Each structure stands twice: as C-alpha cells, then as structure tokens.
Amino acid sequence: MKRMKMNECKAMTFEEGCEEYLLNCRARNLREGTIKHYKDSMKQLFKYIAPDMPISTMDSETMGKVVIAIKNNSNINDMSLYTYTRDLKTLMYFFMKCDYIPTFKISLAKADKQPIETYSDYELRKLLKKPNMKKSTFTEYKSWVIVNFLLSTGIRQRSLINIKIKDIDFYNGVVNVNVTKSRKPLIIPLNSEILKIMQEYLKYRNGNDEDYLFCNVYGSKLTKSTVYHSLFEYNKGRGVETTGMHRFRHTFAKKWVTMGGSVVILQKVLGHSSLAITENYLNILTCDVQKEMEKYNILQEFNRKTIKIESKLL
C-alpha cells in the first residue's frame, strides 16, 4: 500500500489520527489496559485540542498551548498534566513517524512526584493477624491469605487472579507468575511463612492443578472488582480504613528496601523492565529517609559531645 505523506493528509483530523494510533496499538498487541489508558487520555486531550483540528497544523508550539490550557484548569494537578502531555507527545511522535507532520523535538516539564501511599506497621499488624478459624468464613480466611501473599510477593492484581494451583511450586519454593504487565513470565521465590500459609490454604481450597489458586465461593476465577471489594470489607473489618491493591505492592517495595534488600533484585521481583522504574518506588521512602537523617544527625552528635566537654571543664 502507498504510504500517505504530509501533503496528502491535510484532511486528516486529530481525532482520526488518534484512532489510527489505537489501531497501531492493537497491531502491536499492547495490553487492553494500556489501550484503555490512551483512550481515556485522548478524551481529556479533546477538551484542549479540537477533534476536527487538521494534524498538518500541529507544530512545536502545539504542546506549549496545550500545557497552558490544562494549567488554567484548576481541577488538573501537576501529575495529571504530565500524564496528558506525555501521551500527547507519544501521539505527535507517531504522527512524525508516519510523515504526517515534520520532525521536531518535544520536551516535557517534569512534574513533582507524589509520595506513594503504603500501609503503616500499625495497619499491617491488624491485617496480618490470622482470623479465628473456628468462627471465620472462607471469604475472610481467603482475604487474609491474599493479604499475606501480596505482602510476600508484591505482585499486581491481574497477576494474582490468574495464578493457578499448579503455579505454586512447593518443592522449589517459588510461584510461577504467567500473566504479567510486561507479558514476560516471572518466577518469584516464596518465603517459608507464606509457603506454610499456602499449604494450609490449599487444604481448605481443595481443587485441581488447573483450578485458579484464589476463587470465589463457587470455585470460579475471581474478578478484579470481587478482589477489591473483598479486601475493602476485610480491611474495614480490621479497622483499616485505607484500601488499595497497589498499596500492597508499594508496601512490599518499601519494606524490601528499608529492610536492606537490593533494589536490583527488587526490580526482578516486581517485573520492571528497567531499574529506573523501580527507583520511582523510592519516593515512598521520604518519611523513612527523614527518620534516618534524624537518627544519624551529625550536628546533634557533636553538639552533645561539646556540651559534655564543657560540663567537665566547669
């Protein structure tokens, strides 16, 4: 097929260009979650760029105009601004690659990253306390097991609900995670505590090797919404008001680093494609770094020594 050039696509609108990009995403077999993200972002961009705007009129000033327009919206924070403009940059580079517009460099203003929320030690003690097995329902017990599993592996929700019983390798002490964001299987080691918990859980769970590890009361595969609501009720029942699947992943990463774990190994466990992505998780350590800075306060140490020396001289 003949490739459309810049002078042949003057009638192509921004909306049509976005649709073409989504087709390209599907052709590259990107995850549905990723495609949905771009769709949602495009809906926001249409508020600042007219859908019928010809792509051929987009230039190096387009980004600046969009940034100013979004900044004028008081309901948009810096992180959302960065996300929308980053996605617009991706779209414009796609248009350049297709020869729809001339090639030029696009720079983005950096946004201040917000500290990632995690569970406190006080909340973790509540969440990790084993329920009374004589009074507990299977749903509550299963939620307790899931919480332990999430805090032992740091896996994502999508990975969790797709694990099958056969994926737990008790002999080698690992779990084979076959459904991941990067689509690359992971082998995550399991600590001795979670292995004991899983052995007990499977006595109640029963099921065959091909069955999903975590199921509903009918033995069927869990949905994302079911997992979220189950954990919401579980947390609330334990007196923990905050809930969030990714909060467990963030907590796992935080504990890993604060307990002296290697960031390089953490990258492998979390399934990140680069160390730079893992380092973003270090933003969660702001409060902990402040505590360490106070703990190793050089000024305070020497001030105390000075006071002791002066008191002896007196």
pLDDT the model gives residue 6: 44
Are residue 83 and residue 136 in the same domain, yes or no? Answer: no
CATH number at residue 58: 1.10.150
Are residue 125 and residue 60 in the same domain, yes or no? Answer: no
Are residue 69 and residue 160 in the same domain, yes or no? Answer: no
Please give the tally of structural domains in the chain. 2
Residue type for 167, please?
A: D
Strand partners, 189: 174
Asked if residues 217 and 137 have their Cβ atoms less than 8 Å apart, the reply is no
Strands 168-169 and 174-177: antiparallel
Distance, C-alpha 262 to centroid of its chain: 19
Cα(304)–Cα(298) distance, integer angstroms: 10
pLDDT band, residue 307 (cuts 50/70/90): low
Are residue 68 and residue 198 in the same domain, yes or no? Answer: no
Least confident of 12-21, 30-39, 101-110: 101-110
Higher pLDDT, 311 or 89: 89
> Among 62, 97, 132, which residue terminates a domain?
97
Number of other residues whose CB lies within 10 A of the CB of residue 196? 11
Are residue 88 and residue 136 in the same domain, yes or no? Answer: no
Look at the pTM and tell me if it is higher than 0.85.
Answer: no
- 265-272: Cβ within 8 A, 24+ apart: 269/153, 269/154, 269/186, 269/188, 270/154, 271/177, 271/180, 271/181, 271/182, 271/184, 271/186
Q: Is the pLDDT of residue 285 over 80?
A: no
CATH number at residue 175: 1.10.443.10
Are residue 189 and residue 229 in the same domain, yes or no? Answer: yes
Number of other residues whose CB lies within 10 A of the CB of residue 3? 7
Angle at 200 between CA 236 and CA 242, to 5 degrees: 15
The reply to whether 24 falls in a domain is yes
249 φ, ψ (degrees, to nearest 5) = -65, -45
Least confident of 25-29, 66-70, 280-284: 280-284
The reply to whether 283 falls in a domain is yes
Q: Is the pLDDT of residue 298 over 80?
A: no
Nearest by Cα to 118 from 105, 127, 107, 109: 127
Task: Provide the mean pLDDT of the chain.
Answer: 84
Are residue 80 and residue 198 in the same domain, yes or no? Answer: no
The reply to whether 314 falls in a domain is no
pLDDT the model gives residue 1: 40
Cα(244)–Cα(284) distance, integer angstroms: 15
The reply to whether 214 falls in a domain is yes
Q: Is the pLDDT of residue 50 over 50?
A: yes
- The string of pLDDT tens digits covering residues 109-119 is 666 666 668 89
SS3 186: strand
Domain housing 15: 6-97
Are residue 181 and residue 266 in the same domain, yes or no? Answer: yes
**Percentage of the chain with pLDDT > 70?**
83
SS3 291: helix
The reply to whether 138 falls in a domain is yes
The reply to whether 135 falls in a domain is yes
Cα(307)–Cα(296) distance, integer angstroms: 18
Are residue 262 and residue 148 in the same domain, yes or no? Answer: yes
Spatial CB neighbours of 128, under 8 Å, sequence gap ≥ 6: 144, 147, 148, 151
Are residue 214 and residue 280 in the same domain, yes or no? Answer: yes
What sign results for the dihedral spanned by CA atoms 201, 206, 211, 216?
A: negative
Are residue 144 and residue 63 in the same domain, yes or no? Answer: no
pLDDT the model gives residue 175: 94
pLDDT the model gives residue 266: 83
160: exposed, middle or buried (Cβ count in 10 Å: 0-12, 13-18, 19+)? buried
Q: What is the mean pLDDT of residues 275-301?
A: 62
The reply to whether 305 falls in a domain is no
The reply to whether 113 falls in a domain is no
pLDDT band, residue 63 (cuts 50/70/90): confident
DSSP string, 83-132: HHHHHHHHHHHHHHHTTSS-------PPPPPPPPP---HHHHHHHHSPP-
Are residue 58 and residue 136 in the same domain, yes or no? Answer: no
pLDDT the model gives residue 128: 95
Strand ranges across the sheet with 174-177: 168-169, 174-177, 186-189
